[in-house]
Amino acid sequence: MEKQDKNLISRILTFLYRDPTLYSYMIHCCYSPLISVEYYVALRNEQIEGLLFKTNELKYPTIYLAGSLTAIETLLDSVHLNNKLIFRSIEDSLMPIVESKFDVRAKYRENLMVCFKETFSPMFMHKPRKLGLEDLECVSKILKKTICETRKLIEMEHQIMYGIINEQGDIVSFASTEVILPEVATIGNVFTAPAYRNRGMAKSVVSAVTQDALERSRLCNLFVRENNMSAVRVYSALGYKPKKITWWLDVGQNDGQWSGVVDQSDIPT
């Protein structure tokens, strides 16, 4: 096991591009100038067998894992990690190792769902507006980021954001991309204000983001809690299909279901 240097980045990306849909967040970390990442690599005979990424993107340090069981166990035993963590997009096969080594306070089983141009079926009950720099203040509140951070998401990463705005000028429904790659765009940050739910707004904003993203990426993906049936129904109606089970884990803390990101637990139909 060794901590990465810049010469390993291309090899790391080659390893992750074996499944860009599953590892879209990790690939994004390699490219994004906005995310501070510590990369750890498990090697065997000079071949990558496992990866551990530690990032600063959420409220607590966030851990991503990729690789074989043996390699991941070696990495988790060798890398010093905080007591309070988030493990994100963890494969089902790695769960026993993670749970045996950490104080898991909460865990959420997620569906990784995918949508291709051929399966996409947009539904517009409302007309969302594409959001940009003129909407920085409102969007930063939705994303729980500073205005400066939000500006960088728009200017440097060119993330796609759509919202439905009420008569008072407030964003009452929102969705965006979190990752934009030629191979895959990851949809997230889906939110509808409680007073506006069950009106088809989530379908409208997710349709708008997906439609734009499919012009830039081969497919779209998203991660949704398996028991969040209202959200699963929304995505299924738009043409998203389940591909794989992954997990979100709160380690050493459980002070918010999504620890600082937009809560997807009440997405309406």
Domain at 51, CATH number? 3.40.630
Q: Beta strand 62-67 with 185-192: parallel, antiparallel or unpaired?
A: unpaired
Residue 266: what pLDDT? Answer: 42
| Domain span holding position 100 | 2-110
In whole angstroms, what separates CA 203 from the centre of its chain?
19
Q: 127 lies in a domain?
A: yes
Q: 263 lies in a domain?
A: no
Residue 144: what pLDDT? Answer: 87
The domain tally of the chain equals 2
Q: 251 lies in a domain?
A: no
Handedness of CA 71, 245, 199, 257 (dihedral sign): negative
pLDDT at position 169 over 60:
yes
Higher pLDDT, 108 or 5: 108
Are residues 128 and 173 in contact, defined by beta-carbon separation less than 8 angstroms? Answer: yes
Number of Cα atoms under 13 Å in the Cβ half of residue 193: 12
Residues 141 and 209 in one domain: yes
Per the prediction, the chain carries an average pLDDT of 91
Residues 152 and 227 in one domain: yes
Residues 99 and 50 in one domain: yes
pTM: 0.90
Q: 90 lies in a domain?
A: yes
Confidence band, pLDDT 50/70/90 cuts, at residue 255: low
Q: 106 lies in a domain?
A: yes
Higher pLDDT, 7 or 67: 67
